[in-house]
């Protein structure tokens, strides 16, 4: 593998990269419109489409600036994890680009009510995604609409450490099922968290901003990394975004998730969990009631080993090496 100089463009705060080795510069920049949500389970389609329209009002300026930045920094390859405009900029500048994503924003927005009124904007998105030299599709993906060359790879994930011994300081884990909860920082207040106390055979850990008055729910600080907590848990209970699924499966952990009917990627995730028998979906009402005991019991009997491909990072590395020669 070659040694490459990498620059990361993102609108995430520097806190998201706490603990990362300072080996590459990070440029603070909004790279797409994202997806507006009312809480961790509910999308706001109208607001999402309005945000997209607002973002693309200055598309030509953004595109010209991006092409100029690529030239100023003599970039040889553009890699995107879902934004489409950088792919178009790479094509205009004349360098290859990789899209590494299990969905595209075109796929997501196209399914929203009101999308028919944004046909021109969606056509622009589709054109930008088609500019990719290659669309790498990690397992558990939506079949993309855009016409770019595609290649499926295994899950891509970091490797964590088992810190279960450290977690003993937060509660007795003897004969307990350790469940890691990740729902993100969007509103989860409507879940009846106190009902978790009825599940005495489980200990719940999280880094989400959840209630601290539940006897068997421990809200940990950021000295504990997500990847280490997933590596140490028995089961991962999550809103089931791609990164969390990849981390869970990489460490052999079955997944529990809530039904999320408004999410474009939800059917692909649900089908993957059910067909591979690596996780379960809890119906929304049971999820919000904290009625998780039976689902946790069923999930604890599932195995992950040998059911999913986990070599995505190596496959992507080989593709990058071949592109950069």
Domains of the chain: 8-154+312-324 (no CATH), 164-299 (3.40.50.2000)
Beta 255-258 vs 235-238: how paired, if at all? Answer: parallel
Q: How far is CA 217 from CA 170, 172, 229, in A?
A: 9, 12, 14
Residue 73 is predicted with a pLDDT of: 96
Residue 185 is predicted with a pLDDT of: 67
Residue 171 is predicted with a pLDDT of: 67
What is the C-alpha separation between 269 and 292, in angstroms, rounded? Answer: 19
Nearest partner of 249 among 224, 269, 221, judged by Cα: 269
**Tokens, residue 198:** 């009825």
Residue 178 is predicted with a pLDDT of: 95
Residue ranges of the chain whose pLDDT lies below 50: 1
What is the C-alpha separation between 301 and 292, in angstroms, rounded? Answer: 15
Q: Under a CB-based contact definition with an 8 Å cutoff, are residues 97 and 77 in contact? A: yes
276 membership: H or E segment, kind and range: helix 266-276
3-state secondary structure at position 77: coil
pTM of the full structure: 0.85
Q: How far is CA 46 from CA 5, 27, 262, in A?
A: 40, 30, 13
Residue 2 is predicted with a pLDDT of: 57
3-state secondary structure at position 181: strand
Residue 325 is predicted with a pLDDT of: 81
Burial class (CB in 10 A: 0-12, 13-18, 19+), 60: exposed
Residue 256 is predicted with a pLDDT of: 96
Residue 283 has what DSSP assignment? Answer: P
């Amino acid at each position: 593998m070659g040694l490459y100089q990498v620059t990361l463009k993102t609108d995430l705060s520097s806190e998201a990269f706490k603990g990362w080795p300072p080996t590459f510069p990070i440029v603070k920049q909004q790279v797409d419109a994202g997806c507006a949500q009312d809480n961790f389970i509910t999308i706001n389609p109208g607001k999402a489409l309005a945000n997209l329209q607002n973002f693309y009002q200055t598309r030509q300026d953004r595109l010209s600036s991006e092409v100029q930045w690529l030239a100023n920094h003599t970039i040889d390859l553009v890699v995107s994890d879902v934004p489409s405009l950088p792919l178009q900029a790479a094509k205009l500048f004349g360098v290859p680009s990789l899209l590494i994503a299990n969905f595209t924003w075109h796929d997501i927005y196209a399914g929203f009510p009101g999308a028919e009124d944004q046909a021109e904007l969606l056509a622009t998105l589709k054109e930008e995604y088609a500019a990719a030299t290659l669309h790498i599709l990690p397992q558990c993906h939506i079949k993309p609409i855009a016409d770019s060359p595609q290649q499926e790879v295994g899950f891509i994930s970091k490797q964590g450490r088992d810190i279960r011994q450290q977690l003993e300081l937060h509660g007795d884990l003897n004969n307990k099922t350790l469940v890691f909860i990740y729902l993100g920082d969007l509103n989860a207040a409507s879940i009846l968290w106190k009902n978790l106390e009825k599940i005495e055979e489980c200990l719940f850990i999280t880094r989400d901003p959840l209630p601290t008055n539940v006897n068997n729910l421990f809200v940990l600080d950021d000295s504990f990394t997500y990847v280490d907590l997933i590596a140490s848990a028995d089961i991962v209970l999550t809103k089931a975004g791609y990164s969390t699924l990849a981390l869970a499966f990489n460490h052999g952990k079955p997944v529990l998730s809530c039904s999320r009917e408004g999410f474009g990627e939800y059917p692909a995730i649900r089908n993957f969990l059910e067909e591979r028998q690596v996780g379960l979906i809890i119906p929304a009402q049971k999820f919000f009631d904290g009625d998780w005991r039976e689902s946790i019991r069923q999930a604890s009997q599932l195995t992950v080993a040998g059911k999913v491909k986990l070599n995505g990072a190596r496959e992507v590395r080989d593709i990058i090496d071949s592109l950069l020669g």
